[in-house]
Amino acid sequence: MNHIYHLLEQYFSQDTKEAWSCASLVTRSGSSYRWPGAMMMISPWGKSFGLVSGGCLESDVIRRAQKVWQMGQSDYMVYDTADEESFAASLGLGCNGKIGILIQAISAKHHELLSTLYQRLQQKQASYLLQCYQSPIADYINHWVLLDEHGEVIMTTHAEVTSHLTSGLYPIKKQLPDKQKVQVVEDNHWAIAKITPPVQLWVLGGGLDAEPVVNIASTLGWIVTVVDHRVGYARATNFVNAKNILDLPPEQAAKHAGFDQVDAFICMTHNKIIDAEWMKQLADVPSAKYIGLLGPQSRKIEVMERAGLTDDFSYKVDGPAGTDNIRGDLPESIALSIVAQCHSAVQR
């Protein structure tokens, strides 16, 4: 569970009065395991959530985080695995790249900003987190700025520098990134990470073959909802990794809160009539980046005809669901194939 949403979920379930720290991957060149925007939360006792590498640098990051609290100053550390003389290379790492990690103590203001960010993610709102990792003004490096999806400042962690930050961020606001970027404004080096809510997946059909789909998707940090109105399906004991289980027929889906914000649907009821009813509902969901339908192409055509849908919508539905690159006929293999195809679609 390395998505920032889940890191914050874990963080706020802890005793946050302790002296926690945050490590953020802010710069990258060459090869690296994770991309800028990756984050790690660290307790004063060395307990941590998240990864900023493949697990090879985390022990050193934890050690440095404890020093950050002791010294009261942020630490920006560059790990260069391509330099044979560097500390990172001495660890035997094989990425052959360079990453910059910013470690900061979480003050009361940082905690408040993280709480606002977490609330926005819960409300399915995207945000931009700005962190200054190099600056002639040392105080800037200790503080964050949170922007909404339009680039407007929501809050900063230091009221006295808000006006300076706001005026200096104008060039940044003009070119907000789709994911992450670095921008230099008046000698201040800003790491900008777009933080989007975790993928919302609805699995339509609660049969036995839906279980591995739910398990794999939840491992990716997705918020998974299983929907099936049929008696004997979608039992809670079989879907312990699902966030929600809904007893909901297709014709009532549009009335359910959040239905029009779901990112992906995988239809696996194994019933042509029910599948056709679901397709009618999904045709009007603007947020859907992926719709998968079990069965061969001929079955998809029959379902679409039964639903009375046009070819324009049919082209948007992947049927048969899944990628051809993954072989196997076990439910787990099929689930892996479907989720892999879905992952590719929602991450574009």
Quote the mean pLDDT of the chain: 87
Helix (H) or strand (E) holding 342: helix 331-346
Q: Averaged over 43-63, what is the pLDDT?
A: 87
Beta-strand relationship, 153-156 and 144-148:
antiparallel
Class of the domain covering 200-343: alpha beta
**Which pTM value belongs to this model?**
0.86
Domain boundaries, the chain: 4-195, 200-343
Angstrom CA distances, 334 to 104, 166, 223, 229, 330, stand at: 43, 50, 20, 24, 6
Percentages of the chain per state (helix, strand, coil), in multiples of 5: 35, 25, 40
Residue-wise pLDDT tens digits, 316-344: 999 999 998 887 789 999 999 999 999 99
Bigger pLDDT: 306 vs 137:
306
- How far apart are alpha carbons 109 and 37 in whole angstroms? 20
In this prediction, residues 35-58 reach a mean pLDDT of 87
Structure confidence by residue, pLDDT tens digits, 85-121: 555 555 555 566 789 999 999 988 999 999 999 999 9
pLDDT of residue 134: 86
Task: Compute CA 190 distance to the chain's CA centroid, rounded to the nearest angstrom.
Answer: 21
Look at residues 82, 190, 78, 71 and name the one whose alpha carbon lies nearest to residue 129.
Answer: 190
Percent of the chain with pLDDT over 70: 89
Are β-strands 39-42 and 48-49 bridged in parallel, bridged antiparallel, or unpaired?
Answer: antiparallel
Report residue 84's pLDDT band, with 50, 70 and 90 as the boundaries. Answer: low
Which residues are CB-contacts of 63 (< 8 A; sequence separation ≥ 6)?
none
